[in-house]
Amino acid sequence: MSHTHIHPYSATRNSLQQHHIIEVPGDKSISHRALLFGALANGVTRVSSLLEAQDVNSTRSCLIQLGAEISRDGSDWIVQGRGAAGFKAPTDSLNCGNSGTTIRLLMGILAGQPFEAHLHGDASLSKRPMKRIATPLRQMGAQIQLTDDQTPPVQMTGTRPLHPIHYSLPVASAQLKSAVLLAGLAAEGMTQLTGHTHSRDHTERLLKHFGVHVEATVQRGNPNASLSIQGGQTLSAANVNVPGDISSAAFWLGLGALIPCGKIEIQNVLLNPTRTGILSLLQKMGARIQFEITSTEPEPVGTIQVEHSDLRAIDILPPEVPTLIDELPLIAILATFAAGTTTVRGAEELRVKETDRLEAIAKNLRAMGGEIELYPDGFAIHGPQTLRGAAIDSFGDHRIAMAFSVAALKAQGSSEIRESECVAISYPTFYETLNELTGSR
Ligand code: S3P
C-alpha cells in the first residue's frame, strides 16, 4: 500500500502566464467496449490509444480466458475476433478485479454463450449489486446464481438462442443497458428497452461502428428513448481510436478552475453529450472554460480549455446526474470552494460505486475541517470553506483518491492520500500529470 503526500499549491510569479497542453489516457468505457466488441466480431480489430489501466486489463485477461487473442502492435492493440458464438468455456474463474463494467458487460455476453462460467472480483466488486443484471438476463433464459446479498461471485450458464424481452430499465445504468443489449444479440427476435435509457450511450454508438443496428425511438416530452436490438446480428471488425477520458480530464478541469496555475488545454478528449455534464456544470458555476468539437465519428472528440476563476454554487437535479455521475466526488470539492449552497439530489447510485462515495466524500471533507450535509441520494455543501491538510482515506477508490488530491492542493497544510496506488484503476499516470501542472516536480 502506498501513500502520496500533497502540499498546498503555491503560485509563482509567472504561473498564471503558463499554457499547459496535455492529453489524458483513453476513455475507460470505450476501451472496455473496444476489446469486448472486437472479441465478439468477425475479423481483426485494431485499437489505438486503449486505456492501459487495471480495469481494462481485467477485461483483456477475461477475454483471453474466453479464447480471444489480444496482442500488442507498437502502441496499438490487435483483437482477433471470435465471432458471436465463438467463445470457449473458461477453465478457471474469470477475475474482473475492481471493474463493474467488466463483470456486468461480460454477464450480458456470457448469457448467450452455451457454457458455464464463474466470475469474481476484488473486495470492492464483491459488494456491488448484480441482481439488476441477473433479473433481465434470467428472463432471457440464462441461469445465474449470486450470493445471498445479490453480489459476486457469479455462477452462470448461458444458452443460445435467448428469449427476446421487453424490459423497463429501473436505473439509469449504462452497464445494465449494455448487458441487456449484448444479450439481445444472442436472442431470437427483437429485444426492447424502455425506462431509464439515458445513461452514457457508448454501447449504442460502438455497436453501430461494428455494423450492428440499434434502433432508438424518442417520444415527445420523454428524455428517454426506447432502444430495440434485433437478435442474430453479427459484429464486423472495425478499428477504434479511443479518445481521452473526460472523467480523467475532469480532475484537471477542477484543478485549473480552482488554482491559478495558468491555462490548461486538454486535447483529443471525449465530448459525448452523455458524458459532458461536468462542462455545463463548470460553465454554470462561472468557470472560465471553453470547448470545441473537432470530430464526431464514432464519438464526438475535441479540445477543452480552462483557467482559474471564482466559482458560484449550483443545484444539480436528478435528470442531470447520469451525465456527471463519475465526476461527483470532484464536484463536491468544487462546491466546497464555490460561493453559496450547492445541492446534489438523485445520486443514490453513488452509494453502490467502488465504495459508498457519498460516505467517502463526507468522511474526507470532514477530516479536512469541511462541512457537508449528507442525504440518502446526495449532499449539500455551503461554500466557500477553508480546508486544512489531513490524512485522506481513499477507500481504495480511484476517483476518491484523485478528487481529494485536487482538494489537498487548495488546503492549508499538507495532506496524505492513503492507498493512492488505486489511481492505477483508471489513471496510472495521474500523479505525474498533477506534478507537471503544479510545477512540483
Ligand atoms: C460505466 C457506467 C457507469 C459508470 C462507470 C462506467 C460504463 O456505471 O459509473 O464508471 O462503462 O458503462 P453504471 O452503469 O453503474 O451507472
Residue 370 is part of a domain; what is its CATH number?
3.65.10.10
Cβ neighbours, 10 Å, residue 440:
13
- The predicted structure's pLDDT at residue 14: 82
Q: Are residues 223 and 257 in the same domain?
A: no
Residue 239 is placed in which grid cell? 478499428
Q: What is the pLDDT of residues 84-120, one digit of tens each?
A: 989 999 999 999 999 999 999 999 999 999 999 999 9
Q: Are residues 190 and 112 in the same domain?
A: yes
197 lines ligand 1 (CB under 6 A): no
How many Å lie between the centroid of ligand 1 and the Cα of residue 16?
36
Q: Are residues 109 and 47 in the same domain?
A: yes
When pLDDT is cut at 50, 70 and 90, the band that residue 1 belongs to is: confident
**83/210 Cα distance (integer angstroms):** 12
Q: Are residues 101 and 212 in the same domain?
A: yes
pTM over 0.85: yes
**215/100 Cα distance (integer angstroms):** 26
- The predicted structure's pLDDT at residue 11: 86
DSSP string of 227-282, one letter each residue: EEEETT---B---EEPPBPHHHHHHHHHHHHHS-S-EEEEEEEE--TTTTHHHHHH
When pLDDT is cut at 50, 70 and 90, the band that residue 441 belongs to is: low
Q: Percentage of the chain with pLDDT > 90?
A: 95
Q: Are residues 59 and 80 in the same domain?
A: yes
Close Cβ partners of 430 (under 8 Å, ≥ 6 residues apart): 248, 251, 402, 405, 423
How many Å lie between the centroid of ligand 1 and the Cα of residue 198?
12
245 lines ligand 1 (CB under 6 A): no
Q: Are residues 235 and 253 in the same domain?
A: no
Domain extent for 385: 3-24+243-438
Q: Are residues 268 and 384 in the same domain?
A: yes
Residue 208 pLDDT > 60: yes
CA distances to 9, 385, 389, 405 from 414, rounded to whole Å, are 10, 17, 5, 11
Residue 221 pLDDT > 80: no
Q: Pairing between strand 44-48 and 240-241? A: parallel
Q: Are residues 226 and 324 in the same domain?
A: no
Residue with CA closest to ligand 1 atom 13: 173
The residue among 197, 225, 241 that closes a domain is 241
Residue 440 pLDDT > 80: no
173 lines ligand 1 (CB under 6 A): yes
Residue with CA closest to ligand 1 atom 11: 29
How many Å lie between the centroid of ligand 1 and the Cα of residue 175?
5
Counted domains in the chain: 2
Q: Are residues 224 and 305 in the same domain?
A: no
Q: What is the pLDDT of residues 248-258, one digit of tens each?
A: 999 999 999 99
Residue owning grid cell 450470493: 147
For ligand 1, pick from 55, 101, 349 the residue to mutate: most ligand atoms within 8 Å of CB. 101
How many Å lie between the centroid of ligand 1 and the Cα of residue 13?
42
**357/321 Cα distance (integer angstroms):** 14
Q: Are residues 68 and 10 in the same domain?
A: no
Residue 432 pLDDT > 80: yes
Residue with CA closest to ligand 1 atom 4: 326
DSSP string of 55-67, one letter each residue: HHHHHHHHHHHTT
The residue among 241, 267, 300 that closes a domain is 241
Whether the CB-CB separation of 253 and 283 falls below 8 Å is answered with no
Close Cβ partners of 148 (under 8 Å, ≥ 6 residues apart): none
The residue among 241, 257, 281 that closes a domain is 241
- The predicted structure's pLDDT at residue 219: 74
Residue 264 falls in which region: left (phi positive, over 0), alpha (psi -120 to 50) or beta:
beta
Sheet with 340-344, edge to edge strand ranges: 315-316, 340-344, 378-383, 373-375
Q: Are residues 380 and 323 in the same domain?
A: yes
Q: What is the CA radius of gyration of the chain?
A: 21
Close Cβ partners of 414 (under 8 Å, ≥ 6 residues apart): 5, 6, 7, 8, 389, 408
- The predicted structure's pLDDT at residue 8: 95
Q: Are residues 102 and 210 in the same domain?
A: yes
How many Å lie between the centroid of ligand 1 and the Cα of residue 411?
30
377 belongs to the catalytic site: no
When pLDDT is cut at 50, 70 and 90, the band that residue 218 belongs to is: confident
98 lines ligand 1 (CB under 6 A): no
For ligand 1, pick from 175, 246, 270, 321 the residue to mutate: most ligand atoms within 8 Å of CB. 175
**401/419 Cα distance (integer angstroms):** 8
Active-site residue, from 122, 201, 245, 326: 326
Residue 340 pLDDT > 70: yes
Residue 166 pLDDT > 90: yes
